């Protein structure tokens, strides 16, 4: 008999809930398996120790409170949403969002924030101007190189580095 199967049945064996054939199988296994026998002895000791403890009765007041608890409590969607928002794992997100909102409100409503906005706008427009100038220079450079295209690519085709369609 498998040891895992015996482990599952030892409690029933100890309480006398197994038929005679099962008792014989378990007894034979216990005689051959010291680990199962020691497990049975530990279970007997635990049972004797627990039997020595007094059985306590709950007070009538506690019983009334337990009976008054509904079997299943339905929660509203608002309660579920609030429980979700109050999870400790969301606290760093809320702290970051609070800091961001404070920064944005200072940027919008304080005089220093308004001057900062003007400076940022100035820098952005300067960047756009520089990009426009670079784009214009790149266009003029490609126009200038276009006139030298045949001069540069002709020798490369002659040597065999470029073929006709690889320009």
What pLDDT score does 161 carry?
73
Quickly state the pLDDT bin for 167 (edges 50, 70, 90): low
- Mean pLDDT within 16-33: 88
Read off the pTM: 0.35
Q: What is the mean pLDDT of the chain?
A: 84
Does the pLDDT of residue 124 top 70, yes or no?
yes
Statement: residue 56 has pLDDT above 60: yes
Distance of alpha carbon 108 from alpha carbon 112, whole angstroms: 9
Mean pLDDT in residue range 113-142: 87
Q: Locate 5 and state its tokens.
A: 């199967």
Q: How many CB atoms lie within 10 A of CB 40?
A: 19
Domain residue ranges in the chain: 3-53, 97-157
Per-residue pLDDT at 164: 63
Phi, psi dihedral angles at 45 (to 5 degrees): -60, -45
Find the angle CA(57)-CA(59)-CA(63) to the nearest 5 degrees.
100
Give yes or no for residue 100 having a pLDDT over 90: yes
Long-range contacts of 68-72 (CB under 8 A, 24+ apart): none
Q: What is the mean pLDDT of residues 17-28?
A: 88
More confident residue, 165 or 117: 117
């Amino acid at each position: 008999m498998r040891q895992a199967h015996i482990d599952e049945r030892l409690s029933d064996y100890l309480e006398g809930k197994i038929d005679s054939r099962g008792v014989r199988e378990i007894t034979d296994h216990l005689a051959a398996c010291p680990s199962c026998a020691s497990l049975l002895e530990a279970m007997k000791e635990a049972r004797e120790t627990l039997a020595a403890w007094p059985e306590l009765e709950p007070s009538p007041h506690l019983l009334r409170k337990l009976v008054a608890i509904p079997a299943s409590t339905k929660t509203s969607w608002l309660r579920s949403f609030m429980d979700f928002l109050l999870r400790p794992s969301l606290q760093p997100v809320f702290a970051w969002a609070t800091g961001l909102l404070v920064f944005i409100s200072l940027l919008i409503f304080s005089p220093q924030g308004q001057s900062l906005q003007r400076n940022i706008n100035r820098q952005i427009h300067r960047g756009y101007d520089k990009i426009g100038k670079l784009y214009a220079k790149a266009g003029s450079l490609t126009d200038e190189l276009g006139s030298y295209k045949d001069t540069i690519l002709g020798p490369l085709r002659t040597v065999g580095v470029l073929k006709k369609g690889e320009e």
